[in-house]
Amino acid sequence: MAQALRAEPRSELDGISVSIRDPTLAYGVVEVLGDLKLDVNEGEFLVLLGDSGCGKSTLLNCIAGLQPATKGQIFISGQNVTWAEPSERGIGMVFQSYALYPQMTVEGNMSFGLKNARVPRDEIAPRIARAASALQLEPLLKRKPAALSGGQRQRVAIDRTLVRDVDVSLFDEPLSNLNAKLRAELRVELKRLHQNLGNTMIYVTHDHIEAMTLADRIAIMRGGKIQQLATADDIYRRRANLYVAGFIGSPPMNLLPGRLDGNIFHGPLEADVTGYDFTGRLRAVLGIRPEHVRTGDAAAALPIRAEARVEVVEPMGADTPVWTRLGDTPFRVRLDGEDRVRAGQVLVHRLRPRQPVAVRRRHRDADLRLCHGEDDETVPATLFGPLRHALCRCDPPSWRARL
Amino acid sequence: MARSGPPLRRFLNWQAKFAATPMILTALVVFIGCSLWTVVHSFTNSRLPPRLDFVGLAQYERLWSTPRWLVSIENLAMYGVCALTLVIGFLLAVLLDQKIRFEDGFRTIILFPYALSFIVTGVVCQWILNPDFGLQHIVRSAGFSGFSFDPLNDPSLVILALLAAGIWQGAGLTKVIVLAGLRGIDEDVWKARRVDGIPAWKTYLFIVLQMMKPVFATCIVLISARIIKLYDLVVALTRRGPGIASEVPAKYVYDYMFGNQNLGQGFAASTMMLAAVLAIIIPFALFRLGRKRHVGRRLLRCRSGRTPQHRSARPLLDGPASLAPARRLSGKRIMIYGGLLVFSAYYLLPLWVMVMTSLKGMPEIRIGNIFAPAVEITFEPWVKAWSSACTGLNCGGLSRGFWNSVAIVVPATILSIAVAAVNGYALVNWRFKGSEVFFTILIFGAFIPYQVMICPIVIILREIRLMGSVWGLVLVHVVFGMPIITLLFRNCFSSLPPELFKAARVDGGGFWGIFLRVLVPMSLPILTVAVILQVTGIWNDFLFGVIYTRPESHPMTVQLNNIVNSVQGVREYNVNMAATLLTGLVPLTIYFLSGKLFVRGIAAGAVKG
């Protein structure tokens, strides 16, 4: 063990809580995780986000040591734990199905790990009391999991990791089994907890709202690779590729296929994209966020204009997602809740392209964005044919360089 | 960088292998080793002791020219062809599936003989068919003095007696499996049938029967395997008589090995049995491996009640039956209840006869008929059976056998369950290279006829100086109970959420810590099933008891057989019946107390064959 836990030079891992370098996990010949390097800072809340099968849970299990990596290295708190047992890594883990031991009381569930670690008896009680108070579990300590509601069970599961005073807490879709209301409640509670405790948390989810609200940084994963690792704000405004663009946002971004001719985009709508980095004659995808589309008189001054027929209206109170069609292309917009639209109506969309790149790179008003399709698999090959690699870019190269 | 492989993981893996050692040893030494030993020695002219003196196929030539063997094969074929248990079991299951009242009561009645030992069944049937007191006597005294029905002394009818006894004991098993299959069929099929207006019998014949093909395949394999092994029943009911008319292969093997001490001949015959079983099992296994679903498997979960993934299908063993409740007593309902009552009478009568006979004095038995209730109730036969019935010259009663059986059952049950639970745990949560191979061998081993392995086991037990003792028999029961109990626990553990195991590992539970403190407490229901299965199974065992123990440590079933079939003195039928009831009391009590858990155990034990 001593050999496996050899400390790394301090300089390299200073301030880094968890570091993963090229973990490879092979099921037979299939490699699930590719080349991947991920450093999680101390006290950071990192969210691994992706569709099912993207490798996010596998990566989490790798960090936990439940599925030992076949190659690569994992450091936690400056120690190489690649081959260490889960219980020796200084981690706690919360599962989607709570995974409470049904035959033990809440107290028993919380103390099981401590007992296994041979913590003295008189130390266990105060630790349980302290952890229980963090999530208001004191009245439930003597109950068994079967007598708890879903939200309470998940609180116990979270507390079970707190009581062990671990450096890193891992969450595997902890809120997915709860109903919408509880999920929102527990989400806030989790964020408050993180702000109070300040320990490192790694959180796996497929829900981008959870990811955006909780994370210090989000890693969007696909096919075992990280597509983009950035703050929620950056991911929303400066997505690295088409996949990220289509993944984040609700409803997701409209991706309109078309052609770029000089500075004019031709597709389901026409747009002047002067001021972007790309010009020339090539195929391109125009990405427009539904919430950036304006309608009505107030928007009359905006330069880009398109007419669309309303198909389906989904009133949600505060705002109203509307499914429209630009010619044959589906196009979603999100209107204010006060706007009245009916199915069949023709709606005039108006948009404003962002400010020219030359003025400011960190723009605030990115209504219109061209995305590149380079190294991007989501775009069906039939759409682009052989020209897939000659597409225009979404962002200046500098953004990708930061990844 | 540490690239050499995870050291701790290796250690844990080593622990898993260590924990699975009993399974590996059983698979390799007993199931493969002993079978091969017997097959090899079947080509020798071994007498006692076995020698490697090869004579080629001489033993087989002799075997196939021995009338006794040919008769036994013929009987087996007859028995197999006439094995109506499948039809009767299906019929019973369909009757029980009609949303009837007292379903639990009928089910209990139909299944209870399965809890009894073949020896008990044999003794009871022998009594009912007794020409001087039983059926023939009753019909004659009713006025038909020319009536003759004496299957036990009529070579052409004796197979019918075996068959009736076999159905009495075994049809319940088929019923359980078929009923589980019926209840597993999507309720929407029945809704569709009602919407389309198809008659119920047509639905059963053309739709349900087609959907149940795999279930029937399972039943046929199980029944065949049981028939090939048929031994205890013949010993207790007919002792291959009259003449050799009811000889069966298993008895042939036993007689040649231990009676005539012609081991080579016995080996050849048992090898033939092995070949027959393999011919049935291998195609079935290949068929099954292709499609992983298993009727029994769903019955084997740790937690029976909550299986959310099957919420649309009906619960297997309880809950509403398929058809809408009939409001009035229609002709159809009368037929259903009538049928069930007839079957119930068939199943209950032997029990009635047993109890009544055991309460009568000998004079009353001689003048009355066996179905008449006891007039002068006396408990003397019970006392005598317990404390002074004779086997040969030893007149200590059954009590000695009872305590021997207790001394065998308790350690054998505890040991076999402990070993098998650890096996199941290692198989599910700590898979190591080859673990599935060993498990497959183990399951195959459950089907190998015991006759193939008994002789080498005698030699092994003698080498480790356990031959003849209670502990030797305990060891044998642990070995032969392992396949089914391991399967039970393996399926149970693999139905638990894997996150639980992961959480326990993060919490630092070691190999044994997770097993003892997380998994075992969660699998208490399956533990109960295993206990029931093992206690009744070991209690009812006859073959191993006869072979591996000396007379002073014979278990109760063996002693019962000796008492009943002892030829000295006057036959005291009331004492015999009391002894039979005493022997059946333990499994019957367990059966009536445990109810549904026992049914689950049987469905699991079905694989044991």
Q: Does A68 touch chain B (CB under 8 A)?
A: yes
- Using CB atoms, pick whichever of B9, B503, B510 lies closest to residue A95: B503
- Using CB atoms, pick whichever of A4, A6, A117 lies closest to residue B7: A4
Is B508 in contact with A80 (Cβ distance < 8 A)? no
- Using CB atoms, pick whichever of B505, B508, B517 lies closest to residue A66: B505
- The span from the CA of B161 to the CA of B12, in Å, is 56
Question: How much is the average pLDDT of A70-84?
Answer: 86
Is residue B534 located within the same domain as residue B570? Answer: yes
Residue A374's Cβ-side half-sphere holds a number of Cα atoms within 13 Å equal to 12
Tens of pLDDT, residues B504-562: 988 888 888 889 988 998 888 888 888 888 898 899 999 999 889 888 888 999 988 88
Is residue B329 located within the same domain as residue B424? Answer: no
Tens of pLDDT, residues A317-344: 888 899 998 888 888 888 888 878 888 8
Question: How much is the average pLDDT of B384-388?
Answer: 86
Residue B357 has pLDDT above 80, yes or no: yes
| Ranges A54-63, A147-156, B226-235: which has the least confidence | B226-235
* A307 or A7, greater pLDDT: A307
Q: Does A101 touch chain B (CB under 8 A)?
A: yes
Tens of pLDDT, residues B275-334: 988 888 888 777 765 554 444 444 444 544 333 333 334 444 444 444 444 455 677 788
Is residue B418 located within the same domain as residue B329? Answer: no
Is residue B153 located within the same domain as residue B198? Answer: yes
- What are the structure tokens assigned to B405, written together? 């059986």
Question: How much is the average pLDDT of A385-391?
Answer: 28
Q: What is the pLDDT of residue B533?
A: 84
Containing domain of residue B514, as a range?
386-429+466-609
Name chain A contacts of B504, Cβ cutoff 8 Å. 101, 112
Q: Read out DSSP for A297-318?
A: GGGTT-SEEEEEEEEEE---SS
Is residue B256 located within the same domain as residue B273? Answer: yes
Q: Is the CB of residue B411 less than 8 Å from the CB of residue B472?
A: no
- The span from the CA of B38 to the CA of B456, in Å, is 7
Is residue B486 located within the same domain as residue B550? Answer: yes
Name chain B contacts of A67, Cβ cutoff 8 Å. none
* A67 or A311, greater pLDDT: A311
Residue B356 has pLDDT above 80, yes or no: yes
| Ranges A24-33, A250-259, B590-599: which has the least confidence | A24-33
- The span from the CA of A157 to the CA of A155, in Å, is 5
Which of A60, A73, A87 is the best substitution to test chain B (most B C-beta atoms within 10 A)?
A87
Tens of pLDDT, residues B44-102: 888 877 888 888 888 898 889 988 899 888 888 888 776 667 788 888 888 888 878 88
**Closest residue of chain B to A6, computed from CA coordinates:** B1
Is B499 in contact with A87 (Cβ distance < 8 A)? no
Question: What is the count of structural domains for chain B?
Answer: 2
Q: Pick from B336, B362, B378: which residue ends a domain?
A: B378
What's the one-letter identity of residue B452? V
Percent over 70 (pLDDT), chain A: 80
Q: Return the CATH fold of A251-401.
A: OB fold (Dihydrolipoamide Acetyltransferase, E2P) (2.40.50)
What is the nearest CA distance from B13 to chain A, expressed in angstroms?
13
Is B9 in contact with A68 (Cβ distance < 8 A)? yes
Is A113 in contact with B506 (Cβ distance < 8 A)? yes
Residue A57 has pLDDT above 70, yes or no: yes
Residue B52 lies inside a defined structural domain of this protein:
no
**Closest residue of chain B to A157, computed from CA coordinates:** B503
Residue B456 lies inside a defined structural domain of this protein:
no
Is residue B72 located within the same domain as residue B136? Answer: yes
A319-323 long-range contacts (CB < 8 A, ≥24 apart) are A319/A291, A321/A251, A321/A290, A322/A347
Residue B599 CA: distances (Å) to CA of B135, B419, B584: 32, 23, 18
Q: What is the pLDDT of residue B445?
A: 85
- The span from the CA of B562 to the CA of B396, in Å, is 13
**Closest residue of chain B to A118, computed from CA coordinates:** B508
Q: What is the pLDDT of residue A354?
A: 54
- The span from the CA of A45 to the CA of A166, in Å, is 15
Q: What is the pLDDT of residue B307?
A: 35
Q: What is the pLDDT of residue B478?
A: 94
Confidence of residue B177 (pLDDT cuts 50, 70, 90): confident
Residue B558 lies inside a defined structural domain of this protein:
yes
Q: What is the pLDDT of residue A393?
A: 36
Is A66 in contact with B522 (Cβ distance < 8 A)? no
Is residue B108 located within the same domain as residue B231? Answer: yes
* B229 or B302, greater pLDDT: B229
Residue B568 has pLDDT above 80, yes or no: no
Q: What is the pLDDT of residue B605?
A: 52
Count how many pairs of residues, chain A against chain B, have C-beta atoms within 8 Å. Answer: 84
Confidence of residue B166 (pLDDT cuts 50, 70, 90): confident
- The span from the CA of B208 to the CA of B183, in Å, is 11
- What are the structure tokens assigned to A135, written together? 């999530």
Residue B448 lies inside a defined structural domain of this protein:
no
Is A1 in contact with B506 (Cβ distance < 8 A)? no
Name chain A contacts of B509, Cβ cutoff 8 Å. 87, 112, 116
**Closest residue of chain A to B521, computed from CA coordinates:** A103
Residue B333 lies inside a defined structural domain of this protein:
yes
Q: Does A95 touch chain B (CB under 8 A)?
A: yes
Which of B506, B512, B517 is the best substitution to test chain A (most A C-beta atoms within 10 A)?
B506
**Closest residue of chain A to B10, computed from CA coordinates:** A83
Residue A234 has pLDDT above 80, yes or no: yes
Q: Pick from B378, B398, B418: which residue ends a domain?
A: B378
Residue A130 has pLDDT above 50, yes or no: yes
Name chain B contacts of A86, Cβ cutoff 8 Å. 502, 505-506, 508
Which residues in chain A (159-218) have CB-CB distances under 8 A to chain B?
160, 164, 172
Which residue in A142, A97, A109, A166 sits closest to B518, CA to CA? A109
Residue A386 has pLDDT above 50, yes or no: no
Q: What is the pLDDT of residue A190?
A: 92
Q: Does A72 touch chain B (CB under 8 A)?
A: no
Domain boundaries, chain A: 10-234, 251-401
Which residues of B make CB contacts under 8 Å with A?
1-3, 5-9, 497, 499-500, 502-510, 513, 517-518, 521-522
Is residue B361 located within the same domain as residue B254? Answer: yes
| Ranges A127-136, B218-227, B440-449, B492-501: which has the least confidence | B218-227
- The span from the CA of A134 to the CA of A113, in Å, is 18
Residue B191 CA: distances (Å) to CA of B79, B103, B188, B319: 39, 22, 5, 16
What is the nearest CA distance from B521 to chain A, expressed in angstroms?
7
Q: What is the pLDDT of residue B50?
A: 81
Question: How much is the average pLDDT of A343-366?
Answer: 53
Is A95 in contact with B8 (Cβ distance < 8 A)? no
- Using CB atoms, pick whichever of B2, B508, B510 lies closest to residue A3: B2
Is A99 in contact with B502 (Cβ distance < 8 A)? yes
Is residue B504 located within the same domain as residue B355? Answer: no
Highest mean pLDDT among A154-168, A263-277, B407-421, B456-470: B407-421
- The span from the CA of B217 to the CA of B223, in Å, is 10
Domain A10-234, architecture per CATH: 3-Layer(aba) Sandwich (3.40)
Question: How much is the average pLDDT of A170-185?
Answer: 90
Q: Does A92 touch chain B (CB under 8 A)?
A: yes
Is residue B104 located within the same domain as residue B199? Answer: yes
**Closest residue of chain A to B497, computed from CA coordinates:** A99
SS3 label, residue B116: coil
Percent over 90 (pLDDT), chain B: 13
What percent of the residues of chain B are helix, what percent strand, and what percent coil, each to the nearest 5?
Answer: 70, 0, 25
What's the angle, vertex CA A325, arms to CA A324 and CA A331, rounded to 5? 65
Q: Is the CB of residue B35 less than 8 Å from the CB of residue B273?
A: no
Q: What is the ipTM of this complex?
A: 0.72
Q: What is the CATH number of the domain that holds B362?
A: 1.10.3720.10
Residue B181 lies inside a defined structural domain of this protein:
yes
Q: Is the CB of residue A167 less than 8 Å from the CB of residue A90?
A: yes
Q: Does A3 touch chain B (CB under 8 A)?
A: yes
What's the whole-number average pLDDT of chain B? 81
- The span from the CA of A132 to the CA of A110, in Å, is 9
Which of A22, A103, A118 is the best substitution to test chain B (most B C-beta atoms within 10 A)?
A103
- The span from the CA of A380 to the CA of A383, in Å, is 6
Percent over 90 (pLDDT), chain A: 21
Is residue B406 located within the same domain as residue B326? Answer: no
What's the whole-number average pLDDT of chain A? 77
Is A92 in contact with B506 (Cβ distance < 8 A)? yes
Residue B501 lies inside a defined structural domain of this protein:
yes
Q: What is the pLDDT of residue A359?
A: 25
Residue B335 CB neighbours (<10 A): 11
Tens of pLDDT, residues B331-346: 778 888 888 999 899 8
Highest mean pLDDT among A4-8, B220-224, B340-344, B592-596: B340-344
Q: What is the pLDDT of residue A302?
A: 74
- What are the structure tokens assigned to B261, written together? 């001490």
Q: What is the pLDDT of residue A41?
A: 92
